[in-house]
């Protein structure tokens, strides 16, 4: 078995990928481009069900076929890091997630996460897996995607990140087909991921029937976690700010 499963997609020319991040050009130091921030319930990961403050950054350089937040691609409001920190610290909720978009495209995300951790918050980072996670504060709980082939972005997986993740971090696979599942299983075995991290699998919304994915998981006998997007079950799946 190959140590790194081969991507099944063709990379886009670099100028097209670069155009996706153009909104961030000229963003001053100390500021972030933010799509939304709000208080809700954590819908995924091992923290699911807990009250959580969400800070969603704008802009992503990936275009996953099943993405449920495309509204964050091109819309955002400039906020200073100090404003976001003050908002989070004014709430007694101990859990804060930085999500996107792709948070790691913005330099001030890194000190913001450290400042939140300094203030005693438990900080989660949800990231695509396409960007270097080495600068992330080690106190942050990283929830990192490994993009499956049907996402259209599996060629963007940065495999070096697997050597940086901590045992307290989590890897997420979003499954849109049986081919995705087989790829995820091969990847888990090739990199011994289930021995090293918490592994999450979920179905891309309205693709694989949940019972079918559950059957595949049980059949595999892998010690990994099946997860639902809790917020989509509680509220309208297209609702924002939840």
Phi, psi of 218 (to 5 degrees): -60, -40
Beta strands in 114-239 (DSSP E): 122-127, 141-145, 170-175, 198-203, 225-226
- What local confidence, expressed as pLDDT, does residue 179 receive? 98
Residue 38 structure tokens = 């709000």
Indicate the SS3 state at residue 226.
Answer: strand
Q: In order of start, what are the domains of the chain with their CATH numbers?
A: 14-234 (3.20.20.70)
- What local confidence, expressed as pLDDT, does residue 226 receive? 97
Measured over the CA atoms of residue 166, residue 48, residue 236 and residue 174, the dihedral's sign is positive
The rounded distance, in Å, linking the Cα atoms of 135 and 115 is 14
- What local confidence, expressed as pLDDT, does residue 4 receive? 42
- What local confidence, expressed as pLDDT, does residue 7 receive? 40
Written as tens digits, the pLDDT of the chain (242 aa) is: 334 443 444 445 477 788 899 999 999 999 999 999 999 999 999 999 999 999 999 999 999 999 988 889 998 999 999 999 999 999 999 999 999 999 999 999 999 999 999 999 999 999 999 999 999 999 999 999 999 999 999 999 999 999 999 999 999 999 999 999 999 999 999 999 999 999 999 999 889 999 999 999 999 999 999 999 777 787 776 667 76
Residue 20 structure tokens = 């996706």
Tokens 């509220």 found at: 235
The rounded distance, in Å, linking the Cα atoms of 116 and 120 is 7
Q: Is the previous residue joined to 105 through a cis bond, with omega within 30 degrees of 0?
A: no
Q: Quick check: 37 and 58 in contact, CB under 8 A?
A: no
Measured over the CA atoms of residue 220, residue 226, residue 158 and residue 153, the dihedral's sign is positive
DSSP annotation string for 3-26: SSPPP-SPPPPHHHHHHTTGGGTT
Indicate the SS3 state at residue 98.
Answer: strand
């Amino acid at each position: 078995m190959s140590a790194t499963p081969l991507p099944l997609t063709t990379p886009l020319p670099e100028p097209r990928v670069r155009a996706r991040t153009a909104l961030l050009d000229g963003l001053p130091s100390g500021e972030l481009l933010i799509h939304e921030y709000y208080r809700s319930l954590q819908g995924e990961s091992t923290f699911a069900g807990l009250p959580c403050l969400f800070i969603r950054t704008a802009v992503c350089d990936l275009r996953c076929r099943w993405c449920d937040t495309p509204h964050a691609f091109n819309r955002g409001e400039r906020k200073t890091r100090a404003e976001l920190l003050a908002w989070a610290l004014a709430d007694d909720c101990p859990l804060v997630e930085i999500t996107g978009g792709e948070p790691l495209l913005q330099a001030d995300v890194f000190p913001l996460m450290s400042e939140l951790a300094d203030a005693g918050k438990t900080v989660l980072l949800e990231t695509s897996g396409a960007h270097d996670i080495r600068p992330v504060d080690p106190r942050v709980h990283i929830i990192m995607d490994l993009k499956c082939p049907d996402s259209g972005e599996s060629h963007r997986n940065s495999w070096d990140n697997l050597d940086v993740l901590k045992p307290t971090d989590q890897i997420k696979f979003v499954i849109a087909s049986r081919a995705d599942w087989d790829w995820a299983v091969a990847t888990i075995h090739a990199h011994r991921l289930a021995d090293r991290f918490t592994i999450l699998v979920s179905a891309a919304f309205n693709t694989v029937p949940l019972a079918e994915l559950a059957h595949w998981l049980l059949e595999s006998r892998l010690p990994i976690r099946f997860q639902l997007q809790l917020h989509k079950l509680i509220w309208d799946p297209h609702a924002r700010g939840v």
